[in-house]
Amino acid sequence: VYNGFFKVDRYRLSHRLFEGGWSAVLQRELFVRGDATCVLPYDAKTDQVILLEQFRVGALGHDQTPWLLELVAGINDEGETPENVARREGAEEAGIEFGELKPICQYLVSPGGTNEKIHLYCGQVDASTAHGVHGLEHEGEDIKVHVVSAQQAFNHVVSGKINNAASIIALQWLQLNRNKLKAEWS
């Protein structure tokens, strides 16, 4: 149907019904994104997280700013492991290097319309190295780094200032695992 920066495929399919038999033939469009990796950079010694602020076209038309606070993230290139994506994107988007990467979970973003799967991590960092504006010019990236206390980030979730799924999931995971990470990473 469409093949540009992103891709949309059209399917005609039927599937087995719970009560037996088959469904009618359905037509569905699928927004093809594939896998991506997101990382919450966390400094256990200072109890700070690194958040990235950048423009997101999907936030236009909603009652909010299109400049969102998010995690380090990138699309997985073919043959690239999620861990390699995490390390590449940490350098490109925030000028940081990750130590240990702790897997949080993997999840399907919105399987009713896209095949995108997120590999979500918490990454060990030294927050004192994070500052400035980063991103790849040829990708149109203009990414501002913010270093905030973990508590301030949790408050941003409660207030709705952070309202994207990967960031919310990662920060709630950090709330549950913060003391353990402090003991391991300090």
Confirm if 96 and 41 have CB atoms less than 8 A apart. yes
> Could you read off the pLDDT of 48-83 as tens digits, one per residue?
999 999 998 888 888 888 889 999 999 999 999 999
Confirm if 148 and 138 have CB atoms less than 8 A apart. no
Left (φ > 0), alpha (ψ -120 to 50) or beta: where does 34 sit? left
Backbone angles phi, psi at 2, to 5 degrees: -155, 140
Q: Is this prediction's pTM over 0.85? A: yes
Of 39, 115, 51, 42, nearest in space to 84 by CA: 39
Residue carrying structure tokens 């095949």: 115
Residue 150: the pLDDT is: 98
The Cα–Cα gap between 90 and 145 comes to 11
The Cα–Cα gap between 55 and 65 comes to 9
Average pLDDT, stretch 78-92? 96
Q: Provide the token pair at 155.
A: 């408050």
Left (φ > 0), alpha (ψ -120 to 50) or beta: where does 61 sit? left
> What's the half-sphere exposure (Cβ side, CA atoms, 13 Å) at 8?
7
Just list the catalytic residues. 139
CA 30 → CA 6, 23, 59, 78, 110, distances in Å?
A: 11, 19, 20, 19, 10
Average pLDDT, stretch 10-39? 94
Residue 103: the pLDDT is: 98
The Cα–Cα gap between 28 and 6 comes to 17
> Could you read off the pLDDT of 94-126 as tens digits, one per residue?
999 999 999 999 999 999 999 999 999 999 999
Residue 135: the pLDDT is: 79
Confirm if 98 and 125 have CB atoms less than 8 A apart. yes
The Cα–Cα gap between 4 and 9 comes to 12
State yes or no: pLDDT of 140 exceeds 80: no
